Structure 1
Amino acid sequence: MPAQIGENGSSTEVGQSKNQYLAMVGDIQAELTRLQVQHRWIQMCLQDQIAFAPVDLTKDGVKVLDMGCADGTLLRDLYKQVPPSAQMVGADISTVFLPTSPQGNIRYVTQDVCDPPAAELRGRFDLTHVRNVLHSANRSGVQQAVANLADTLAPGGWLQVMELDIIPGQSEQPQALQDLVQMIGYMFEKQGMDRNYASKIPGSMKKAGLQNVTVEKVECGIGRVHGDEAAVRSSIEPFMHMIPLVARSAKMICPDLDPKIYANLEARYVREMTEQGGYFPANIYYAQKPMA
């Protein structure tokens, strides 16, 4: 699922990747809206819980990093759960989404998960949070990206990563949702990324020296599986923003993809989710940096 992917930096390779992402997105404001809508849907499914890792967010001066923060929506939600002394940093690989100035005790920096963290981010944070970002780490690979994230942690700090599961054949998914998952995974493979990339996260956490590695599976409901009509509508919306972008990209990147997969996909998706609903599984991984 295209999330905050792209690059920032001075190398030719990095700049080209950034431009490819922005060219694929086209409308920056529309992409930002998609990210915000997606965040609200996930938070609804998680009952507004952000930190699953057992980090003490009430600690005076707690330090939190959100990597791939886009416009900082998640940090502004988390701001309500931490003391005024908290130090919060949002990092993203592209400046196009970042706020141009600090917001209270939230400040923003540019950083790519594929690169070693800048000195100001190294060894500092009680919680480093990442959501739907590691699918874009094909330049470095998942293992190096996780190692980079682990380097941002203070002793005793926690790394938490959430990724949607794009492995095909999920039993709780109607056909339109299965087609979307298949299309996304096929695009990943065409761009050199393993669609099973998320399975590498626990091992990568251990190789990075983290301990207490934990995986929690969550089911993100879409459409009719929610009893409340407002929830039905709001849960259907995120992929309505995504499907046109993914279908357009698939036609360019995957010309050999069966057109039946993306034919009338948005209409089929809306109908099936409204009438039946389904689930998009996700995994939340977290692990702790040793105290010494």
Structure 2
Amino acid sequence: MSNKQEEPKYLLANVGAEVDRLTKQHAWLQKCLDGQIVFGPVDLGKPDLRVLDVGCADGILLRDLRKGVAPSAELVGLDVTPSFLPPNDPGPPAIRYAVHDICDPVPANMANTFDFTHVRFVMAGASKSGIAEAVRNLVGSVAPGGWLQIQEMDLSPNTPGCTPALEDMKSVLRSLFEKTGADPLFAKNLAKMLEDAGLQNVAVKKVKYWVGKGMGENQADVEASIASVKLTIPAILGGAASTFALFRFLVNHFE
């Protein structure tokens, strides 16, 4: 597939700044996850391992993952935004990229072939097809015996232990998702969607992403978590066409 396609409308504002934001977000999330990327029983040492990252942006997760896989593994990144994608990387292992929308079935040459398909914070962009259909499309990429891992945010209001600033941020995100036609609480229904799409051994793992002092004693980690969220807030507000005053309120509460 050619990457020279018309640039789609991105859910968040300022596409040009997104790669930097997503890179910082990835570093923060991986710190919270102790560097773990794969949570299912995937044999990362398998010589012919095939991995697909959907919504890969500039491939930062695949570049991290390839440090722990065999040189002969095949890594593929898909994203709906052509300008995010870097040139193919010869590796080893090689990483190749292509433009693809999760609202569409994966190309025929990718159907039922991947040992591990990874998706992070992408499903809310599936308003064109609906999230359930996008889940079925993702399931269609997985080889028999393979694993699909979808990571999404629980935006439920009044979460125990959640700070007022984070509650406000979740409220804005819920409004943004509603604006696109997505159920803002869709993450709670993903397990059933996966089962309805034919997957077995579906499990839900809840992970806390700490912001600020919750990151521990390392001041660099504390600052990195806050910086990542502060970059996300204007992107969210730009996508939601919200006010500058609310942006200042949220930023001040994270400082």
AA aligned to 1:113 is I
Other structure's SS at 1:117 match: coil
User: How far is 1:137 from its partner?
Assistant: 1.1
Q: Cα deviation per residue 1:184-231 (whole Å; 9 max; x = unaligned)?
A: 111211221111111221111111111000111111111111221111
CA contact (8 A) 2:106 2:141 kept: yes
What is the rounded CA distance, in whole Å, between the counterparts of 2:96 and 2:239 in structure 1?
33
Find the counterpart in structure 1 of residue 194 from structure 2. 205
- From 55, 58, 61, the equivalent of 2:42 is 55
> How many residue pairs end up in the alignment?
250
**Does residue 80 of structure 1 match 2:70?**
no
**Which ranges of structure 1 fall in alignment gaps of 5 or more residues?**
1-7, 271-292
Report what 2:225 is aligned to: 235
Distance 1:27 1:143, change over 3 A: closer
Aligned pair partner of 2:20 in 33, 38, 43: 33
Q: Distance in 2 between matches of 1:60 and 1:245?
A: 40
Conserved 8 A contact 1:150-1:159: yes
The aligned amino acid for 1:250 is A
SS at match of 1:109: strand
Other-structure match for 2:157: 168
Q: 1:249 to 1:88 in 2, by over 3 A?
A: closer
1:19 offset after TM fit, Å? 4.0
Of 97-106 and 146-155, more deviation after overlay is shown by 97-106
Separation in 1, partners of 2:125, 2:31: 24
Cα distance in 2 for partners of 1:87, 1:175 equals 44
Q: Does 1:120 align with 2:105?
A: no
Pairs within 5 Å for 1:85-164: 85-104=72-91, 105-164=94-153
Report the Cα offset of residue 262 of structure 1: 4.5
Q: Which SS does the other structure have where 1:176 is aligned?
A: helix
Maintained 8 Å contact 2:47/2:72: yes
Task: Report the Cα distance in structure 2 between the residues aligned to 1:173 and 1:34, rounded to whole angstroms.
Answer: 23
Cα distance between partner residues in 1 of 2:235 and 2:131:
24
Change (3 A) 1:142 1:19: closer
Identity percentage of aligned residues: 42
Q: How far apart, in 1, do the equivalents of 2:15 and 2:110 lie?
A: 31
In structure 2, give the amino acid aligned to 1:48.
Answer: G
Amino acid at match of 1:111: H
Q: CA deviation at 1:142?
A: 1.5
**Structure-1 separation of matches of 2:38 and 2:176:** 30
Are 2:8 and 2:80, in contact at CA under 8 Å, matched by a contact in 1? no
Q: Give the deviation of 1:9 after TM superposition.
A: 9.9
Q: TM-score under structure 1 normalisation?
A: 0.80
Indicate how the Cα distance of structure 1 residues 160 and 61 shifts in structure 2: closer, same or farther if over 3 A, else same: same
CA RMSD of aligned residues (A): 2.0
- Aligned-pair CA distance for 1:261: 5.1
1:288 aligns with: none
TM-score, scaled relative to structure 2: 0.92
- Aligned AA for 1:25? A
Find the aligned partners of 1:188 and 1:197 in 2 and give their Cα distance.
10
Instruction: Please give the alpha-carbon distance, in whole angstroms, between the structure 2 residues aligned to 1:128 and 1:114.
Output: 16
- For residues 35 and 213 of structure 1, the distance between their equivalents in structure 2, rounded to whole angstroms, comes to 27
Give the CA deviation at 1:161: 0.5
- The residue number in structure 1 matching 2:235 is 245
Deviation, 1:168, is 1.5
Is the contact made by 1:92 and 1:112 (CA closer than 8 Å) also made in structure 2? yes
Aligned partners of 1:244 and 1:266 also within 8 Å: no
2:209 corresponding residue in structure 1:
220
| Amino acid across the alignment from 2:40 | A
